Chains A and B, each alone.
Chain A
């Protein structure tokens, strides 16, 4: 679709990453609406999804502008196939149980916040503005997910067991977040996006401290599952998109 290593295509790819992360995680979280483990939690996780849908709109709208092919945020969300999605594999994991959902949220938030904080300093004013707005929302997301994984990690024997097994299951998906991209290096040298190692360092610090409080053991394996950022996804994303895009695909051109 896009040839790499040009300034605007690198930027486009980066914006897709940001937007697709929000979109796919919002999709997963929104599946809990009406099915949460407690009424208060049902409401809270929907708030997070709502924030993420809002952020999706901002990132993908900007991506469409940068691309310059006249595609709207909705076009990008609803009319791309899986290999054009740039979200992390972590975020397309099925919900399974609420513990896995919370652990995924926590691992992502811990990356999302420092990334957004870095982006508030972006030399690209539009990016800085979106990041500024998102930081406020994601600060709360991280606060909440950290609080919950600590409580449940250090809760009952059963909640501890579930949180530990969620962590073990998701651990190999975290590496992809922390690796530097093969995006245009100019994006970093021109201070459009923050250096990946700084974000990774902030992630490690936060996660290590929180897991300790949660009495959870950080898995030792350093095996990394990767592919999402390059459009090579798990089988799950296809089903996410089949569901999400159904109406737009079945009734092309209709106005909703």
Chain B
């Protein structure tokens, strides 16, 4: 997820540079076909939600890529922290019985 960690001055020298406020960043999700989930396709800048929607249409569906658009303000996205990766996802590794291949079903029983 490309939520942004904006630092005011990336040169890392001197005081932060004062800059005019920027048009906010939005994350765009598009449903490519009926029945599919929305997928993150990228970001763009827009003054507000309605404009983000219009811009998404112009920027991300130029080739007829979508049937539905979601726009979410980037700073509104809550993302898991990379440092939490192990406590968040490792425990699931040991629950092998959640997967169908854990169980041996005799062939004569047929498809299950």
Contacts and interface: CB of A to CB of B under 8 A. Distances in A.
Contacts of B44: 40
A147 B58 contact: no
Q: How large is the interface on B (under 10, 10 to 19, 20 to 34, 35 or more residues)?
A: 10 to 19
Contacts of B50: 147
B47 A144 contact: no
B62 A40 contact: no
A43 interface: yes
Chain A: interface residue count, which band? Answer: 10 to 19
Give the interface centre of A39, A40, A147, A151 by most chain B CB atoms within 10 Å: A40
A47 B62 contact: yes
Nearest to A140: B57
Nearest to A44: B58
B23 interface: yes
A255 interface: no
Nearest to B59: A43
Interface of B: 23, 44-47, 50-51, 54-55, 57-59, 62
26 contacts: A38-B23, A38-B45, A39-B45, A40-B44, A40-B45, A40-B46, A40-B55, A40-B58, A40-B59, A43-B55, A43-B58, A43-B59, A43-B62, A44-B54, A44-B55, A44-B58, A47-B58, A47-B62, A140-B57, A143-B54, A144-B54, A147-B50, A147-B51, A147-B54, A151-B47, A151-B51
